[in-house]
Amino acid sequence: MVPDEWSIIEDSFHPEYNEITESLMSLGNGRMGQRGNFEETYTGKSLLGNYVAGVYFPDKTRVGWWKNGYPAYFAKVINACNWIGIQVEVEGQLLDLYTCRIEAFRRVLDMKRGVLERECTVEMPTGNRLTIRSQRFCNMVDDESGAIRYTIQPLNFNGQITITPYLDGNIRNRDANYDETFWNEIQKETSFAQGILVLETKPNPYGVEQFQVATGMRFDITVNGKRLDFHSHPIRNEKYVAGKVPLKLNERDELTVYKYATNLSSSNHSAGELIPLTKAYLERITKKGYDVLYHEHTQAWAEKWERNDIEIKGDLEAQQGIRFNIFHLQQTYTGEDETLNIGPKGFTGEKYGGVTYWDTEAYCIPFYLSASGQQVARNLLIYRYRQLGKAIENAEKLGFSGGAALYPMVTMNGEECHNEWEITFEEIHRNGAIAYAIYDYIRYTGDEAYLSEYGLEVLIAISRFWRQRINWSEHKKKYVMLGVTGPNEYENNVNNNWYTNYIAAWTLRYTLYAIEYVQKNGDATSIFSKINFDSESEPSAWQKIIDGLHFPYDEVRDVFLQQDGFLDKELLTVDQISEHRPINQKWSWDRILRSCFIKQADVLQGLYFFEDDFDLGTLQRNFDFYEPMTVHESSLSPCVHSILASRLGMKAKAYEMYLRTARLDLDDYNNDTEDGLHITSMAGTWMSVVKGFAGQRVQDGVLVLDPYLPASWESYSFRIGFRGVTLTISVDRDSIRLVNPSDQSVALKIKGTQEDFVGEKVLNLIDQEIVR
Amino acid sequence: MVPDEWSIIEDSFHPEYNEITESLMSLGNGRMGQRGNFEETYTGKSLLGNYVAGVYFPDKTRVGWWKNGYPAYFAKVINACNWIGIQVEVEGQLLDLYTCRIEAFRRVLDMKRGVLERECTVEMPTGNRLTIRSQRFCNMVDDESGAIRYTIQPLNFNGQITITPYLDGNIRNRDANYDETFWNEIQKETSFAQGILVLETKPNPYGVEQFQVATGMRFDITVNGKRLDFHSHPIRNEKYVAGKVPLKLNERDELTVYKYATNLSSSNHSAGELIPLTKAYLERITKKGYDVLYHEHTQAWAEKWERNDIEIKGDLEAQQGIRFNIFHLQQTYTGEDETLNIGPKGFTGEKYGGVTYWDTEAYCIPFYLSASGQQVARNLLIYRYRQLGKAIENAEKLGFSGGAALYPMVTMNGEECHNEWEITFEEIHRNGAIAYAIYDYIRYTGDEAYLSEYGLEVLIAISRFWRQRINWSEHKKKYVMLGVTGPNEYENNVNNNWYTNYIAAWTLRYTLYAIEYVQKNGDATSIFSKINFDSESEPSAWQKIIDGLHFPYDEVRDVFLQQDGFLDKELLTVDQISEHRPINQKWSWDRILRSCFIKQADVLQGLYFFEDDFDLGTLQRNFDFYEPMTVHESSLSPCVHSILASRLGMKAKAYEMYLRTARLDLDDYNNDTEDGLHITSMAGTWMSVVKGFAGQRVQDGVLVLDPYLPASWESYSFRIGFRGVTLTISVDRDSIRLVNPSDQSVALKIKGTQEDFVGEKVLNLIDQEIVR
């Protein structure tokens, strides 16, 4: 990939990397998305992928050995109808880049405009040479539609070129558990230059909603810029509609197809109305025409960038990397629909199914809070509130009762979808992250009313879970939590994971605070009565746990212990096993488990979340103990370490960790970009800059900043929204520049000094910290 | 089932229990076996099952989430060609008991003779009434063959009856991972009243041997006892051969089909010779004729019973139960082939695949040692010796080196087949049981030369594994073993499982002894050189582990702790959760893991194996602590507890545990008999009597007996082989009677008194022990 500040550029075709490139060049608009596939037929390596937000299929669980409590199905993001397809025949010969000699090739994802472009010149096996130019986008304004401009130019012949724009629902998820297809055809229609295909997800025995998606297309054709009066022969096959247009072209003629497509799903519309709505939608966007749609779309992106951009000078790769991350985050989730969430692969692949992991709460919410605003983050919280009933059912399946909630590890509709006992049943710290997100949101926005409206019910249900999950150890004379998996998934079924215990006790404390708040400011009585809450016995039981919970600790090193027995391991550092990395590929699972090596921040995740509870010395000792044992084999690991290293003044370490997160996918560090991008960890990259380098925090309603400049950069600059104001922060070698262009002041503490800030401000920056 | 001392009797037809009955009434001869299916067509609930020893298929692994180190395939016992089939048409109507009105029905497994018999009178939907009488056996003498005598008698009509004896290879394993069939047809032949079908296991990508099995049949027909001159029309379909014989019968005529069948496999014969060998085999057995074959077969069973029987008076169900167990053990494994082993289901079903678990070493070897003799047990040891190379490869896959061996959890050919990380990689105590079996065998037989010949290599390889699997804890200043699963599989990934640590240290000690022995008595130098053994550094490293290994211990209760942290659990007893049992069906997996409840003997398994290392007080304290927490949800659990309870004089407990093991399958305690029988746990039942009630031990070459009589019995009597002598031990209310009919004396210690015993001896038995 060619470095470029605003684009991802492939400037010669590499079929061997095509699936990686397709992932990187994915487009989306929060409502639908697709991988960077070619419009015309391609028989080489390719993962054709089109996705519609909120539409999923419950794929029957596949396991080797069943364990009680496993869910019956795994809700999968479904690969949906292919709407970009344009089949091209040249003199009766199918155009397929895999069989052509490529003379010139350039595929560009223009992140500034949210547009995928391609230009290539090829020679077909027949000797016919032609140039293809395509441009397409998933419309950010009319967000159930996309548009393509596809141009073909014969270079060395006059002849017949047949163009067949089509919709194809004969699609299979690559990771289907039993190699089944997930779609049935319901209806189809074709008319002149128009086709509509209504597919429905197959019936399932789990009572899960069946979704209908109507995909529509309309197309238009110009030759040399002039609209053509053409004949379109409709084709109707199983789950397939097309219009076939045979044309005679002369050498150098430019044939352009404009294809407009829509995806309307029954999750947003009444199923019975899908066809008329699709027709109306097609009519509307076709009337606007390609240029207007393009203009509106790029304008919307310009507005997003105006608010979200991080500008880095002096390091082109870092600039490209951070924009790449922000771009995909904004494509994946726009925050307009509280039933949606952020899938681990967004619209860039189907691996891992589901859409909602604890990544949303731990990594994404801080990004959307600053970059997209309060309502977007609030919708992410409400998503979990809406699924509270299912979380209570989920806990009941595992033997909990009385309104205790265990949120799922992976979900679409609130039902647990994961099926590895050590994760599904044991990686319960996720429940804590969901409680923490409420706190984090309120801390940032000041919206304490959220507690009365939604937050308290969720907090009480999670606290009820912790109470039942924790037991009294007569031996230790302490409360203990047995059999858990912490964020470091390279340990399973351990006792007293420090992080999980900490976030559990914290949840109980915060819930007690929330109860008090709502009792004073809200309608606590009706909430208590709704959920049958005993405001005497339950809080007092929680208080006992808060007071008596066991936290493993090493007196010698004065560090928290990841879990009971951690010190029995052979304590090595990562540099002693460099030839064995990545251990998740080179070591057997049991060897990983027995080793001291850590997949991602675990104790340090706790010190990151709850930094105000610990002094810098404690953070430093734990960082120095754990980070050297950490292999960062989760995409979510480097960012937390980068932020902590920034806080500790370990700038070299912070930058090293930043580099590992920022270009993870662009440089295919984990060798899995072909499956799709690591969307949720992209928020971590953003945090590494804003919370790490710029030291952004919110403390007692005050926005805290403590920026420094990474050594290899000339400057960086970003905007954040905070309590109704958009601030610009720019940092270069000598100074920090702050702008609050509004007339509303912001409580700001920068480099230790607090003020009510409005207008513009420049601090001279003399970097006195020691680079470690 | 009707209680009977020698038979299993179903005296009216219960189609709803048919699969259970089929399991119970399975036949086998160590070389081949089959479930108690009907010969004629049956369309009701039935698991048609025919199995050929040593023939398996590598079924591609199916998991939900892949872990490094998982094996690529699961070697499965294959459901093979159905050779019992006789299709019967009456006046053009297929005879199928499922569609008939059953007037009388009796199916009997005659365990004394090893014969399955059935007699029934039915009315077909057409109104035709007939009686069917069948008898069949898997020949114990000509052990690659079986024979059937099948009689039909029309009761109320004259008419056409068409008999089609067939061989059918269109068989599917019910538990195939991907619903595939495992057999291809290679060749088939038919001639008058004879058919041969050669099937081959499908090709596989794992380099696993493909097996060919030639199944042959020949049949003869009599009417009213007179050989008939009949016409047989050959039928040849895909994987199917048959001979169709239309006959005219009069009311009350008795039509009898004699069907002789053979199963020759490429694991015993050259694949190219299978057809001529089959023809010769068929020729030979057909010449003998049914009555001679039957006589030889029942004679062989009489000899087995002469040696193996346990006679119980005063408790018909106990009598039936113990014979049922002995019968199936003898059917499953005869000890004549060192490449075979004892499958968990024998020839009674295909569940769990594989054939070799640690059950063989821990449970079956003691049975075969006493009941079948030294050579049989020795072949079971050599089976593991032959697989040592694979066990070393298996350990290498998991990261071990230098000749360390990890024997598989489940295997056919030495390759690991299991794929649950907590079992496959962590339930490594199995390695210790394989070392222990060597010790156990030598202790019983005195055959110390086995160490030089085979034993030492295995012991060193296992000790090398333990050394690498154990690490030094700088924190504890002790050696520790992290991340294991003990025999109690309701705990996973625990640290310092007491049992595993104990058997590991014991292995190291015993290996040091074995080295010393072979250095004195064998060719240690060439063994050391063959396996590159450093006789200085390796033993000294082992000695350090022996001296410094950590054993979790509770000082308050003075009991060994099942694992580190065990006391942090809420310590309940099984009677407090009676409505939750069985927990493996009623609780989620994580709840089971967090609970204190124990699946099967764990610490107590160690106290059972190594009883001479501990005093009775220690045993009593540990029994009293652990047994009340034990749910006995493994078929291997009650027997160990029964033996220990006997030793502790807890006679009521011993008998309670005995009952749970003795009629496990007969009474379908675990609700899974339809899948097949629990063959390996049957050896535990035998041990409960011989080692439990009769207190049989071997100490320093002396046979120790310390019998008592369970309160509800009148007497019991059994034979055991010991160092060339067969002893009869009979126990009744008043006395113990011992007979050594040989002229060779046996070092015997009974009720504390030692002597060189020959002839006959009666001790008056005054039972002074307290019944608890």
Condensed to tens digits (0 to 9), the pLDDT of residues B411-463 reads 999 999 999 999 999 999 999 999 999 999 999 999 999 999 999 999 999 99
Domain membership of residue B46 (yes or no) is yes
Assign residue B113 the CATH number of its domain: 2.70.98.40
Per-residue confidence (pLDDT) for residue A772, from 0 to 100: 33
Domain membership of residue B271 (yes or no) is yes
The answer to whether A64 contacts chain B (CB < 8 Å) is yes
Per-residue confidence (pLDDT) for residue A770, from 0 to 100: 33
Return the SS3 of A730. Answer: strand
Residue A688 CA to residue A312 CA, distance in Å, equals 13
Please give, rounded to a whole number of angstroms, the shortest distance from the CA of A52 to a CA of chain B: 25
Range of the domain at B112: 27-302
Per-residue confidence (pLDDT) for residue A769, from 0 to 100: 40
Per-residue confidence (pLDDT) for residue A335, from 0 to 100: 87
Cβ contact (<8 Å) for B399 and A591? yes
Domain membership of residue B261 (yes or no) is yes
CA distances from A337 to A54, A333, A383, B464, B587 (A): 10, 9, 9, 60, 37
| φ, ψ of residue B619 in degrees (nearest 5) | -60, -45
Tell me the mean pLDDT in the region A393-414: 96
Please give, rounded to a whole number of angstroms, the shortest distance from the CA of A383 to a CA of chain B: 27
The answer to whether residue B536 scores a pLDDT higher than 80 is yes
The answer to whether residue A432 scores a pLDDT higher than 50 is yes
Q: Is A526 left (phi over 0), alpha (psi -120 to 50) or beta?
A: alpha
Tell me the mean pLDDT in the region B550-569: 98
| Chain B residues in contact with A489 (beta carbon < 8 A) | none
Please give, rounded to a whole number of angstroms, the shortest distance from the CA of B531 to a CA of chain A: 25
Residue A162 CA to residue B194 CA, distance in Å, equals 65
Give which of A68, A400, A406 to mutate to test B binding, by max B Cβ within 10 Å.
A68
- pLDDT tens, B239-291? 999 999 999 999 999 999 999 999 999 999 999 999 999 999 999 999 999 99
What are the catalytic residues of B? Answer: 489
> Are A411 and A75 spatial neighbours (Cβ–Cβ below 8 Å)?
yes
Give which of A494, A568, A595 to mutate to test B binding, by max B Cβ within 10 Å.
A568
> Which of A399, A483, A588 has its CB closest to that of B425?
A588
CA distances from A705 to A305, A729, A736, A748, B472 (A): 22, 9, 10, 8, 46
- pLDDT tens, A481-505? 999 999 999 999 999 999 999 999 9
The answer to whether residue B769 scores a pLDDT higher than 70 is no
> Which of B67, B420, B593 has its CB closest to that of A483?
B593
Please give, rounded to a whole number of angstroms, the shortest distance from the CA of B473 to a CA of chain A: 5
Per-residue confidence band for A766, with pLDDT thresholds at 50, 70 and 90:
low
Cβ contact (<8 Å) for A68 and B397? no
The answer to whether B588 contacts chain A (CB < 8 Å) is yes
Minimum Cα–Cα distance from B569: chain A residue: A473
Residue A661 CA to residue A329 CA, distance in Å, equals 14
Per-residue confidence band for A1, with pLDDT thresholds at 50, 70 and 90:
confident
Q: Is B232 left (phi over 0), alpha (psi -120 to 50) or beta?
A: beta
Tokens representing residue B709 in the block: 């009589």
Could you tell me how far CA B5 lies from the centroid of its own chain?
Answer: 22
- pLDDT tens, B308-337? 999 999 999 999 999 999 999 999 999 888
CA distances from B643 to A654, B574, B607, B608 (A): 63, 20, 11, 8
Per-residue confidence band for A671, with pLDDT thresholds at 50, 70 and 90:
confident
The b/e string for B720-748 (b: 16+ C-beta within 10 A; e otherwise) is: bbbeebbbebbbbeeebbbbbeeeeebbb
The answer to whether A493 contacts chain B (CB < 8 Å) is yes
Query: What value does the mean pLDDT of chain B take?
Result: 95
The answer to whether A569 contacts chain B (CB < 8 Å) is yes
Helix B679-687 to helix B651-662 angle (10° resolution) is 150
Could you tell me how far CA B582 lies from the centroid of its own chain?
Answer: 24
| Chain A residues in contact with B483 (beta carbon < 8 A) | 590, 593-594
Please give, rounded to a whole number of angstroms, the shortest distance from the CA of A465 to a CA of chain B: 13
Return the SS3 of B711. Answer: coil
Return the SS3 of A77. Answer: strand
Residue B542 CA to residue B565 CA, distance in Å, equals 26
Name the domain count of chain B: 1
Instruction: Tell me the HSE value of A479 on the side-chain side, using a 13 A CA sphere.
Output: 20
Binding residues of B, by number, are: 358-359, 599-600
Place of tokens 């309590």: A723
* Pairing label, strands A310-313, A715-722: antiparallel
Minimum Cα–Cα distance from B395: chain A residue: A588
Per-residue confidence (pLDDT) for residue B663, from 0 to 100: 86
Query: What value does the mean pLDDT of chain A take?
Result: 95
Per-residue confidence band for A140, with pLDDT thresholds at 50, 70 and 90:
very high
> Which of B483, B565, B590 has its CB closest to that of A69?
B590
Cβ contact (<8 Å) for A68 and B589? yes
CA distances from A735 to A697, A714, A753 (A): 20, 11, 15
Could you tell me how far CA B181 lies from the centroid of its own chain?
Answer: 25
CB atoms within 10 A of CB B118: 21
Cβ contact (<8 Å) for A593 and B492? no
Residue B210 CA to residue B207 CA, distance in Å, equals 9
Tell me the mean pLDDT in the region A295-324: 95
The answer to whether A421 contacts chain B (CB < 8 Å) is yes
Per-residue confidence band for B715, with pLDDT thresholds at 50, 70 and 90:
very high
Nearest to B267 by CA among B356, B200, B184: B200
Per-residue confidence (pLDDT) for residue A768, from 0 to 100: 41
Cβ contact (<8 Å) for B420 and A64? yes
Domain membership of residue A722 (yes or no) is no
Cβ contact (<8 Å) for B68 and A585? yes
Domain membership of residue A175 (yes or no) is yes
| Chain A residues in contact with B570 (beta carbon < 8 A) | 471-472
Please give, rounded to a whole number of angstroms, the shortest distance from the CA of B672 to a CA of chain A: 16
Domain membership of residue A440 (yes or no) is no
Residue A620, annotated as binding a ligand = no
- pLDDT tens, B77-86? 899 999 999 9
Residue A358, annotated as binding a ligand = yes
Nearest to B54 by CA among B340, B271, B333, B332: B340
Helix B498-521 to helix B537-548 angle (10° resolution) is 150
Tell me the mean pLDDT in the region B514-525: 97
Q: What is the pTM of this model?
A: 0.94
Helix A374-386 to helix A429-445 angle (10° resolution) is 150
- Let me know if A618 is exposed, middle or buried by CB neighbors in 10 A (0-12, 13-18, 19+): middle
Binding residues of B for substrate, by number, are: 358-359, 599-600
Residue A350 CA to residue A359 CA, distance in Å, equals 17
CA distances from B469 to A564, B400, B472 (A): 20, 8, 10
∠B539-B543-B544 over CA atoms, to 5°? 120
Residue A278, strand partner residues: none
User: What Rg, from alpha-carbon coordinates, does chain A have?
Assistant: 27
CA distances from A471 to A458, A501, A536, B594 (A): 22, 12, 20, 10
Percent of chain A with pLDDT over 70: 99
Greater confidence (B767 vs A371) lies with A371
> So what's the ipTM on this one?
0.93
CA distances from B11 to B39, B118, B119 (A): 18, 10, 10
The residue ranges of DSSP E strands in B685-724, in sequence order, are 697-699, 702-705, 715-722
The answer to whether B585 contacts chain A (CB < 8 Å) is yes
Domain membership of residue B190 (yes or no) is yes
- Let me know if A422 is exposed, middle or buried by CB neighbors in 10 A (0-12, 13-18, 19+): buried
Show Cβ contacts of residue A227 under 8 Å, excluding neighbours closer than 6 positions: A220, A221
Residue A144 CA to residue A274 CA, distance in Å, equals 12
Give which of B590, B591, B593, B599 to mutate to test A binding, by max A Cβ within 10 Å.
B590
Helices (H) then strands (E): counts for chain A: 21, 33
Per-residue confidence (pLDDT) for residue B772, from 0 to 100: 33
The answer to whether B592 contacts chain A (CB < 8 Å) is yes
Residue of A39, A427, A489, A491 with catalytic role: A489
Place of tokens 């949720």: A680
The answer to whether residue A670 scores a pLDDT higher than 90 is no
Nearest to B431 by CA among B493, B478, B387: B387
Domain membership of residue B142 (yes or no) is yes
∠A528-A534-A537 over CA atoms, to 5°? 150
